[in-house]
Amino acid sequence: MLKQFADHEAALAACARGDAAALRALYDAESGNMLGLALRLVRRRDVAQDVVQDAFVMIWRNANRFDPARGQARAWMFAILRYRALNALRKSSREVELDEGAAEALPDDAPDALEAVGRMQESAALRRCLEGLDEPRRKPVMLAFLDGLTHGEIAERLKSPLGTIKSRIRLALRDLQECLQS
């Protein structure tokens, strides 16, 4: 999957040494996944492609700052992607009220955020821990992660007061970290 590189860590280390083939290997392995997630978040294909481009440029430039003692390489890459995608999303929603024409309809097979838990790998710790949350705590987390919704948008979607949503998310994150660490 990563050509001559054993894993994401090895490819990222090679990027840090200036090996262009390593960046290409990471691109081949992850650009499709990243574009899928970026499109899901920003809802416009042109913006999503820009986000993926920016993410790979940042991955290349910052590869030497990745420290495997602090986390996994794939998580690090997706952290960069998410950071860029959320920036683009907030920027576009500040600039224009989301133009219905420009916003691409989500692909037909886009999973509903609230149903996505069922599509997660059985073995994933996050799946087990999300299933352990009651629905009022789980739903806001899913909408924030997969659709990039703000507190206000989540409150509107779930027809709950803003303060309630804020405290539910905070409690959900406390429960989740406890569960994920156990």
Binding site for another protein (CB under 8 A): 14, 17-21, 23-24, 27, 31-33, 35-37, 39-40, 48-49, 52-53, 56-57, 60-61, 67, 70-72, 74-76, 78-79, 82, 86, 89-90, 107, 109-111, 116, 119-121, 124-127, 129-130, 141-142, 144-146, 148, 150-151, 169-170, 173-174, 176-178, 180
**Phi, then psi, of 49 in degrees rounded to 5:** -65, -40
Nearer to another protein by C-beta: 24 or 157? 24
Run of H or E including 87 = helix 73-95
Q: How many CA atoms, within 13 angstroms, populate the side-chain half-sphere of residue 177?
A: 5
Nearer to another protein by C-beta: 75 or 102? 75
Nearer to another protein by C-beta: 99 or 174? 174
Which residues, 6+ apart, have CB-to-CB distance to 52 below 8 Å? 31, 34, 35, 38, 81
Nearer to another protein by C-beta: 102 or 171? 171
Q: Sign of the C-alpha dihedral, residues 36, 38, 41, 47?
A: negative
What's the closest the beta carbon of residue 10 comes to another protein, in angstroms? 9
What's the closest the beta carbon of residue 36 comes to another protein, in angstroms? 4
Nearer to another protein by C-beta: 133 or 141? 141
Is-contact 42 51, C-beta < 8 A? yes
Helices (H) and strands (E) in the chain, counts: 8, 0
Amino acid at 157: R
What's the closest the beta carbon of residue 132 comes to another protein, in angstroms? 13
What's the closest the beta carbon of residue 102 comes to another protein, in angstroms? 17
